[in-house]
Structure 1
Amino acid sequence: MVDLVIANGLVVNASGSRPAHIVVDGGRVAEIVDATEAVPTAARIIDAAGRAVIPGGVDAHCHVAQVTGRFRTLDDYAVTSTAALWGGTTTILDFGIPRDATETPLEAAMNKLALAREARCDVALHASVITWDETVPAQLEELAERGIRSVKLYMTNRGSTMADNDTVLKVMREMVRLDGLTYVHAEHDAMVVDCTQAHAEAGEIGIEHLHKTRPELAEEASVREVLAMAEYTRAPVYFVHQSTPGAVDLVTRARRRGLSIHSETCPHYLLLDDGVYSSRYPEWFACCPPMRSPETVAALRERVADGAVHTVSSDHSCYDLSQKRERRDDLREMPHGLPGVETRMPVAFTALAAAWTGDDEGLLERFADLFSAVPSRINGLSSKGMIAPGYDADLVVFDPAELRTVSGAALHMGTDFSPFEGRELRGWPRVVISGGRVVLDEDGFHDPGPVGRFIPRAGYREAAAAPPPAVASLVATGPLATTGKGA
Structure 2
Amino acid sequence: MSADLVVRGGTVVDSAWEGPADVLVSDGVVAALLARGTPVDPDVPVVDARGRLVLPGGVDPHCHVGFTSGEYTSLDDHRECTTAAVFGGTTTIVDFAIPRPGQRPLDVARAQRAKIPAGLCDAALHGCVVEWDDTTADQLRVLADEGVRTIKMFTTYRGESMADESTILRTMAALRDLGGMVVVHCEADHIIVDSQEHAAGVDRIGAGDMPATRPELAETASVAEVLAIAESQRTPVYFVHQSTAAAVELVAAARRRGLRAYTETVAHHLLLDESSYAGPEPERFVCCPPLRARESVEALTRHLFTGEISTIGSDHCCYDTAQKREHRHDVRQMPNGLPGVETRLATVFSEFVVGRGLSLTRFVELTAANPARANGLYPRKGSLMPGADADIAIWDPRLAWTVTAAQLHQATDYTPYEGRRLTGRPTTVVVGGRVVVDEGELVDGTARGRYVPAGDIPAGPVQ
The answer to whether structure 1 residue 136 and structure 2 residue 164 are counterparts is no
- In the TM superposition, residue 463 of structure 1 has moved relative to its aligned partner by 11
In the alignment, what sits opposite 1:259?
259
Cα displacement (A) at 1:427: 2.1
Corresponding residue number in structure 1 for 2:151 = 151
Counterparts of 2:445 and 2:385, CA distance in 1: 24
The answer to whether 1:209 aligns with 2:198 is: no
Q: How far did 1:46 drift?
A: 1.2
| Aligned AA (2:95) | D
State the alpha-carbon separation in 2 of the partners of residues 180 and 48 from structure 1.
39
Which residue number in structure 2 is paired with residue 479 of structure 1?
none
1:420 and 1:138 mapped to 2: Cα distance?
44
Q: Distance in 2 between matches of 1:24 and 1:338?
A: 35
Give the alignment's TM-score, normalised by structure 1. 0.92
Aligned to 2:381: 384
**Aligned equivalents of 2:399, 2:122: Cα separation in 1:** 27
Do the aligned partners of 2:242 and 2:263 also contact (CA within 8 Å) in 1?
yes
SS for the counterpart of 1:331 is: coil
Structure 1 stretch displaced more, 38-47 or 293-302: 38-47
Q: Is the 8 A contact 1:5 1:40 kept in 2?
A: no
- Indicate the residue corresponding to 2:437 in structure 1: 440
The question of whether the paired residues in 1 share the 8 Å contact of 2:354 and 2:423 is answered with no
Alignment of 1:305-324 (within 5 A): 305-324=305-324
SS at 1:184 equivalent: strand
1:443-454 correspondence to structure 2 within 5 Å:
444-454=441-451
Measure the CA separation in 2 of the matches of 1:180 and 1:42: 45
* CA displacement at 1:306 relative to structure 2: 2.2
Instruction: Determine the structure 2 residue equivalent to 1:351.
Output: 351
| Counterpart mapping for 1:38-117 below 5 A | 38=39, 41-99=42-100, 101-117=101-117
For structure 1, the residue ranges without an aligned partner over 5 or more in a row are: 468-487
The letter of the residue matching 2:351 is: A
Q: Tell me how far apart the structure 2 counterparts of residues 152 and 305 of structure 1 sit (CA, whole Å).
A: 27
Question: Does structure 2 conserve the Cα–Cα contact (< 8 Å) formed by 1:143 and 1:149?
Answer: yes
Superposition RMSD in Å: 1.7
The question of whether the paired residues in 2 share the 8 Å contact of 1:378 and 1:464 is answered with: no
For the 8 Å contact 1:267–1:313, the answer to whether it is kept is yes
Q: What's the offset of the Cα at 1:41?
A: 3.4
The number of residues matched between the two structures is: 461
Cα shift at 1:400: 2.2
- Please list the CA deviations of residues 243-288 of structure 1 after superposition, one character each: whole Å capped at 9, or x if unmatched: 0011111111111000000000000011100000000110110100
Bigger mean CA deviation after superposition, 42-51 or 144-153:
42-51
Query: Is the alpha carbon distance of 1:49 and 1:354 closer, same or farther for their aligned partners in structure 2, counting shifts above 3 Å?
Result: closer
- 1:23 alignment partner, SS class: strand
Contact 2:428 2:440 in 1 (8 A): no
Q: Any idea what SS the aligned residue of 2:133 has?
A: coil
Q: SS at the partner of 1:161?
A: coil
Unaligned runs of 5+ in 2: none
- Structure 1 residue 300 and structure 2 residue 300: aligned? yes
For residues 403 and 213 of structure 1, the distance between their equivalents in structure 2, rounded to whole angstroms, comes to 37
Kept in 2: contact 1:433–1:439 (CA 8 A): yes
Equivalent position SS for 2:184:
strand
Q: CA deviation at 1:390?
A: 1.1
> What is the CA distance between 1:414 and its match in structure 2?
0.5
Deviates more, 1:30-39 or 1:333-342: 30-39
Q: Could you say which residue in structure 1 is the equivalent of 2:32?
A: 31
1:431 to 428, 431, 440: 428
Whole-Å separation in 2 of the counterparts to 1:132 and 1:166: 8
Alignment-mate amino acid for residue 455 of structure 1: V
- 8 Å contact kept, 1:29–1:389: yes
Distance 2:403 2:231 in 1: 43
Preserved contact between residue 94 and residue 123 of structure 1 (Cα < 8 Å): yes
Aligned to 2:342: 342
Taking the aligned partners of 2:66 and 2:203, their CA distance within structure 1 comes to 33
Matched, 1:414 2:415: no
Letter of the 2:66 partner, please give it. A
**Percentage identity across aligned positions?**
46
